[in-house]
Amino acid sequence: MLDKKVAELLNDQINKELYSAYLYLDFSIYYQEEGLDGFANWYLIQAKEERDHAMLFLEYMQNNGEHITLEQINKPDKECTSLKDPLEFALEHERYITSLINTIYGAAHEVKDYRTMQFLDWFVKEQGEEEKNAEDMVKKFELFGIDPKSLYMLDSEMASRTYTA
């Protein structure tokens, strides 16, 4: 069994990761409707990865004999009115997720729960990559997103992303 506070935060993180999946699915739909299938592909894969993150938290709790309570997943609440919007929302969101992971890590550290800290190490590293990717996307869009030809090339690059479970 885990510390009550740590278990609560881990349980809540399942919901947060599923919300991330829902948010990125919303971005994927937005880009698909705008005719940018590559960007749509990028966020569809991102959504799948977020679902996988949720499952990692769920399995970790199960492996530690914890009961899991699934809560309602909020409706994606970001209104995209320009092609750059999802990229900026994604960066802001990943920074928020990093702060949540850090909070769980801090709670585990407080009760000397080294097992949970070790479990979270993967997420600490992953969040570094998630933020870097999101920052790169914003930068690339600022450089190439205005000109239709280079936007087409960028979209083709996004289309090449593949999902690995």
50 touches ligand OFO by CB under 6 A: yes
CA-wise closest residue to 26 among 15, 39, 16: 39
Binding map of ligand OFO across residues 109-148, x = CB under 6 A, - = no contact: ---------------------x------------------
Question: Rule CB under 6 A: is residue 14 a binding residue for ligand OFO?
Answer: no
Q: Does 131 carry a binding-site annotation?
A: no
d(CA 64, CA 76): 31
How far are the Cα atoms of 51, 62, 133, 146 from residue 94, in angstroms, in the given order? 15, 26, 10, 24
Site for ligand OFO contains 66 (CB under 6 A)? no
Question: Out of 53, 104, 141, 154, which residue is the one contacting ligand OFO (CB under 6 A)?
Answer: 53
What are the two backbone dihedrals, phi and then psi, of residue 42, each rounded to the nearest 5 degrees? Answer: -55, -50
Whether 17 has a binding-site annotation, put simply, is yes
Q: Which residues contact 106 (CB under 8 A, 6 or more apart)?
A: none
- Compare residues 23 and 154 and give the one whose CB is closer to ligand OFO: 23
Q: Is 26 in the site for ligand OFO (CB under 6 A)?
A: no
Site size with ligand OFO, rule: CB under 6 A: 7
Name which position in 2, 18, 20, 91 contacts ligand OFO (CB under 6 A).
20
Separation between Cα atoms, residue 39 and residue 27, nearest integer Å: 9
Question: What are φ and ψ of residue 162, in 5° steps?
Answer: -120, 155
Q: If binding is defined by CB under 6 A, does position 17 make contact with ligand OFO?
A: yes
| Binding positions | 17, 50, 53, 94, 127
